[in-house]
Amino acid sequence: MERPEFVVKQVEPVRVLATRLRVAGQADILAAIAELRPSVEDALAGPPMALRLGFVRDGKVDVEIAFPIARAVKRAGFVLKVLPALPMFSFRHVGPVIGGPEGTNLIDTRRKFGEFVGARGVLLGDDPERFLYHENVETHGERAERYVTEVQYSYHMPMWLEALDAGTRRFAGPEAAGRVMAGSDGLAEALDGERAAAWVQGAVERLDREIPDERTRACVLNGCAHHYIVQSEMLLEAAFQETGKDLRRLVRRITEEKLLGSRYRIDESGPEPLLVIERRPARPDEYEKASTPAEKRYEACFCPLVRDAIREGRRVSRTFCHCSGGWYAQEWAVVFGTAPEVRLLQTMLEGKDSCVFGVVIPDGWLAGRT
């Protein structure tokens, strides 16, 4: 198998006809494409795609089968939509998708990309992983060694920098944004996680000086959060409906059934009721094996931009963790209908054992409920 080349490119918007399925793996995806393709063949304008929407649950994963089209058309069973423009890592796998000799399958190339990401400390996004099936059985029949599959992963670092700049401009003006963003030119293109982490930690300290109010800084960093929450959105929306839109019952259910992974509880002891969220460890197996508090905090932290600093005991401003608060603002907008205020109650950046957030519960959501 040839060594894959991992490149970053700006992917432009793509108009597609899409349908959502739950599949056990690539064999199911290829079978679905073969079955669905005839109904869109006349409008097809590019290779069929599969978008992985989340993680495996009960042996299956949610995907969208998407067919690029040149013009807006309707087809029964499909949704017409536009996939967003994104900075993406792209690499090609030449060889069998599945079923080939050991080391020649698509999963092997994806594994090499994972090793590349780990070695570089790259900050990926969580928009759907995209598979583009350029050539397969339709062009090469049984000669699977000639199949060509492109894989695309969103690259979050350029989006993070853009959001930080835009948020600082909005709340502090262009001159302050220029000071905060100083030194960021070429940072995303360098693919150097250590350099990116050092710059981000310095930028957050500069933001602290430019914007003294923590709540305002939180609004800036909230906008830098990962923004694709489709799996947790689906789970939360379904549980919300099944519990009769009762917040107390919803919180009990997602906690008892571990639907979203973290621990949730309602705290009514203060002037405003809070939905308290204690983040689960990012790498639970490694977390359990860790022998020191610093190592446990390192394994618990989700973000490659600060977790080395946590392990090494270097100071990083708590402001940084408001980025994670932005995730919960999006998540609970699914329930409340608008993004709630999210407060940072404790952070591992200050030596705590976990990061804890408080979502401010809007008026009327607890009265008369069980």
For the structural domain made of 7-154, what CATH number should be given? 3.20.80.10
pLDDT at 230: 67
Q: What is the spatial distance between Cα 267 and Cα 275, in angstroms, rounded to a whole number?
A: 6
83 contacts 29 by C-beta, under 8 angstroms: no
pLDDT at 277: 96
pLDDT category at 231 given cuts 50, 70, 90 is low
pLDDT at 141: 85
pLDDT at 1: 46
* Residue 252: pLDDT over 90: yes
Q: Tell me the domain boundaries of the chain.
A: 7-154, 157-222, 230-360
Q: What percent of the chain has pLDDT over 90?
A: 81
pLDDT at 229: 64
Amino acid code (one letter) for 69? I
CA 283 to chain centre: 16
Q: Give the mean model confidence (pLDDT) for residues 136-160.
A: 92
- pTM: predicted TM-score of the whole model, two decimal places: 0.90
Long-range pairs of 113-122 with CB within 8 A, sequence gap ≥ 24: 113/4, 113/6, 113/89, 113/151, 113/153, 116/6, 120/191, 120/192, 120/193, 121/192, 121/193, 121/194, 121/196, 121/197, 121/304, 122/89, 122/155, 122/157, 122/191, 122/193, 122/304
Least confident of 18-22, 122-126, 191-195: 122-126
DSSP class of 38: G
Pairing of strands 79-83, 14-23: antiparallel
Q: What is the spatial distance between Cα 339 and Cα 318, in angstroms, rounded to a whole number?
A: 21
pLDDT category at 57 given cuts 50, 70, 90 is confident
